[in-house]
Every structure is written in structure tokens, then in C-alpha cells.
Amino acid sequence: MTQCADAAGSTTDSAVPPIDRCKVNGRKDILDTVTSDDHVSRENRPRTMHRRSFLLSLSAIGLAATACSGWHGRRGRLRILMLGGTNFVGPHLVQAALGRGHQVTLFNRGRTNPHLFPEVEKLRGDRYPDRGEGPGALDTPRTWDAVIDTWQEAPGCVDLTARMFAPRAERYVYISSIATYRGFRDIGITEGSPMIEAAGRVGSFDSELGYRTRKRAGEQAAEGHLGDRATVLRCTSIGGRNFSADANEHASYWATRFLAAEPLIVPDDPGAVVQLIDVKDMARFAIDAIEKSLGGAYNVVGPEQPLSLRDYVRTWSEATSGRSPIVWVTPAFLAQQGVRPFDDIPSWIPESDSEPGFYRISNARARRDGLTFRPLASTLHDEIAGLGDPASLRTPGGMSREKERELIESWQRMGG
């Protein structure tokens, strides 16, 4: 299972408590980013902003301050700059914006799924000022009604663009994560709950920073430069369709298990609940936030009503036509066998867990401001539709198939 870098305790984030619940539902999530530290080599990561780019940014700010003297309001066709936009979450944000008739421009390097959105304007460059063309294509007096940023690497990149667009964009929407909360002992975490301390990392390009610190510092960069014109969407595990060519590489634990046509183990734990957000619901809310000028932080967490682990798993079973029989086992048996909730069986957090609040985060603010939820079955059908050949699915974690088969045999030997 992919681990949160902070949890591994090997990062420089000493201020971050060692919470290991930065992985959700066993799908790429908060935790994608752990791997992002892996696939960008240290020596390639700039630690300081390139001086020329920095000066260019400052000059553009000066030029743009005049250009931005009046916004045309948030009604009608808005000009939205999408930083990124072509991996998992981004395409849904782009689609949601285009679906409302807005004009979208993408900024990225043109490497990830470059075939997407042929009709949309594309600016090319790199978020890192010292790589490739750097962010120079953004460094113009052009103004925007909103910038959407999905960045999850060095927070210095968010700091740079948030500073650049503070005088040139009406709103800056930063896609963040519940991983920015300090801990999950409490039930009903709200947007005012204690956060990770990352203020000293806002402009950092330090490749050692863990995911949670990077995301929190990214939030603070956006808020610091745009104040209440920043909108921070703290998402829990995001479900739904992945348009990426490598979607099979990031399939969720449950998709992998339920599509395998083999018996699978599920804890029969009536008190366990699960939270996730459909990527389309998140994207719709992000565009709402732009249109309605919603500022501040929002927990973007579903579903509307508490979802038990039992119902979550049953919905997976229905979505896959029951092709993998469920072997329900008692939590006591799993404890005896040394099976760890969440690490070995993603999505399972027993009620008695030391961090029961991880799946009991409050979405009251977002609901009040218009967040709505698609049925879980639709989310799961979308996820399945984005996957290719089930035989080539790779799950990001959980126990191995061999271990699971052994457990099923032991359970059945005991008469289960």
C-alpha cells in the first residue's frame, strides 16, 4: 500500500505527527504524492527559484495590476486557467468548466495525456522555474476570472503562481486534501480544526518535504497571496473515472479485488464507515465556487449520509455483478492473524481505532454552499469504466493475494 511520506517518518517534516492514515480506500489519493517524491529525482529538483523568472514575475505583477482594475463579474463565460488538467482530477475540472460554457486554458508540459482536450488552448511550460521553459508562458499581463491548481509537489511552485496571479486572477482554487489536518482523533473535523504546521515551508522547493506538508504549504501559499479570493478544497479519497492511459496502474484495492473473480476477504465490522468523494461532484463544486465566489477552505467529502463499510463493499460487489464472492470474517479473526486495519485492508477503520475521525469528517460547510453527491454506484461504475483489462490491474496496496488466500483457507478450516 502506498504510504504517506510523512508516515514513513523519513522526511524533514518534524512538525507533522506520525499519522499513517494518509491513504484512503487503497486508491491513488493523498498518497499519489508519496510516489511523486520518488519519481522526481533529488538532483533534478530545484531548491531555489530561478532569479530571472522571479524578476519576470514581479514585473508582470506590476503590469497586470492596472489590467485588472475591473472584473466582468462571475456571470457569463468565465476565463479559467487550469494549471495541470490532464491526469486524473484535472480532466474532470476542465470538463465541468467547459460544460458550463466557460473558456478554459491549460498550462502544463504536454507530457501527460496530451491528446486530451484538442479544442482547448494550451500553454506550455514547467511549474519549476529552473526546469525546461519554466512558468514563463504564464508570466504575461493576461488576466483570468479563476486559476485552478492541482499541484502536489514543491509548495514553492504554488507560491510562485499564487503570487503571480494575485493581481491578475479573481479567484485561485487550490485542490488540497484532508491530509492537511493535524490528526484524526476527533469525530467531525471541520475547516477550523487544527492543521499541520507548514508556514515555514510555503516558498520551499525542498524535495524532502512530505506530502502533507507540501499540501498544507500549498494552501497557505494560495491563502497568503489571495486572502479570501483563495478557495481551498480539502478532498478525501477521490473516486470515479480516470482518463489517464495508466489508469490500471492506479486502480483501487477494491476494484482490483472485485474484478479478479476470486473470493475476497471483508471484515464484518458493523461500526466501520467509509468516506470518499466522486471526482465529478468535486469538480462541479469547484466550478460553483468560482461562479459563486466562495472563498476559504471546504472539506470536500462524501457521501451525504454515513456509509458503512458493509454497504460500500456490497455496492462494489453489485457494480461488478458479484463476480468475486465476499468472505465476511470477524475483526477478532483478523486481529488474531495480525491483519492491520487500513494497511492490509484499505478503507477499514474500526470504530475503536485511535483515529476514528479519518472517515468522519464534517462536510457541513460544503453542503451548505452547494456540494451534492452522485450515488455511490455511479462513482464505482465510472471507476470501472476507466479501467482496462482486469488482468493487468495493479493495486497500490493492501495485503497480497497470497496472504488473502491463506487467510480464507484458515477461516474456512475454522468453520467460517
Ligand X SMILES: NC(=O)c1ccc[n+]([C@@H]2O[C@H](COP(=O)([O-])OP(=O)(O)OC[C@H]3O[C@@H](n4cnc5c(N)ncnc54)[C@H](OP(=O)(O)O)[C@@H]3O)[C@@H](O)[C@H]2O)c1
Select 108 or 231, whichever has its Cβ closest to ligand X: 108
Instruction: List beta partners, residue 121.
Output: 105
Q: How far is the CB of 315 from ligand X (least distance, A)?
A: 18
| 107 strand-pairing partners | 83, 123
From candidates 12, 35, 103, 112, binder to ligand X by CB under 6 A: 112
- By CB under 6 A, residue 235 contacts ligand X: yes
Question: How many CA atoms does the CB half-sphere of 407 hold within 13 Å?
Answer: 28
Nearer to ligand X, 161 or 315 (CB): 161
Residues 33-62 within binding reach of ligand X (CB under 6 A): 33
Q: Which of residues 78-97 bind ligand X (CB under 6 A)?
A: 84-91
The answer to whether residue 127 forms part of the interface with ligand X (CB under 6 A) is yes
Cell, residue 236: 478525501
Q: Which is nearer to ligand X, 111 or 413 (CB)?
A: 111
Measured from the CB atom, the residue of 241 and 257 that comes closer to ligand X is 241
Helical packing angle, 155-165 and 51-67, nearest 10°: 30
Query: Least Å distance between CB 77 and ligand X?
Result: 22
Nearest residue (CB) to ligand X, 147 versus 238: 238
**CB of residue 343 vs ligand X: minimum separation in angstroms?**
17
Judged by beta carbon, residue 342 or residue 411, the one nearer ligand X is 342
Q: What share of the chain is helix, strand, coil (3-state, %, to 5)?
A: 40, 15, 45
Contact 33, 153 (CB under 8 A): yes
Edge-to-edge strand list for the sheet holding 144-149: 121-124, 103-108, 79-83, 144-149, 169-177, 230-235, 296-300
Quickly count: other Cβ atoms within 10 Å of residue 379's Cβ.
25
CB of 254 to ligand X, least distance (A): 13
Q: Which stretch binds ligand X (CB under 6 A): 11-19, 230-238, 353-361, 400-408?
A: 230-238
Half-sphere exposure of 340 (CA within 13 A, CB side): 11
C-alpha cell at 283: 469538480
Query: Considering only residues 206-225, where is the footprint of ligand X by CB under 6 A?
Result: 215
Instruction: Indicate the residue among 13 and 404 with the shorter CB distance to ligand X.
Output: 13
Q: Which of 5, 7, 22, 30 binds ligand X (CB under 6 A)?
A: 30
DSSP state, residue 377? H
Of 9-17, 61-69, 125-133, 346-354, which part binds ligand X (CB under 6 A)? 125-133
Report the residue from 1, 6, 13, 29 that binds ligand X according to the rule CB under 6 A: 29
Q: Are 408 and 327 in contact (CB under 8 A)?
A: yes
First and final C-alpha spacing in the chain: 27
Task: Answer yes or no whether residue 111 interacts with ligand X by CB under 6 A.
Answer: yes
Nearest distance, CB of residue 192 and ligand X, angstroms: 20
Which one among 2, 57, 161, 177 touches ligand X, defined by CB under 6 A? Answer: 177
Among 1, 7, 21, 28, the residue binding ligand X under the rule CB under 6 A is 28
Q: How many residues bind ligand X (CB under 6 A)?
A: 29
Q: Is the dihedral of CA 32, 84, 59, 134 positive or negative?
A: positive
Identify the CA nearest to 124 among candidates 166, 132, 63. 132
- The residue of the chain with the least Cβ separation from ligand X equals 90
Best CA proximity match to 159, nearest among 171, 169, 180, 174: 174
In three-state secondary structure terms, 348 is coil
Q: How far apart are CA 214 and CA 180, in angstroms?
A: 9
Q: Quick one: how far is CA 156 from the chain centroid?
A: 19
110 binds ligand X (CB under 6 A): yes
- The nearest distance, CB 408 to ligand X, in angstroms, is 29
SS3 307: strand
Stretch of residues binding ligand X (CB under 6 A), selected from 57-65, 126-134, 158-166, 221-229: 126-134
Identity of the residue, 86 or 317, whose beta carbon is nearer to ligand X in the bound complex: 86
In the range 146-165, which residues lie near ligand X by CB under 6 A? 150, 152
Q: Site residues (CB under 6 A) for ligand X?
A: 28-30, 32-33, 84-91, 108-112, 126-128, 150, 152, 175, 177, 215, 235, 237-238
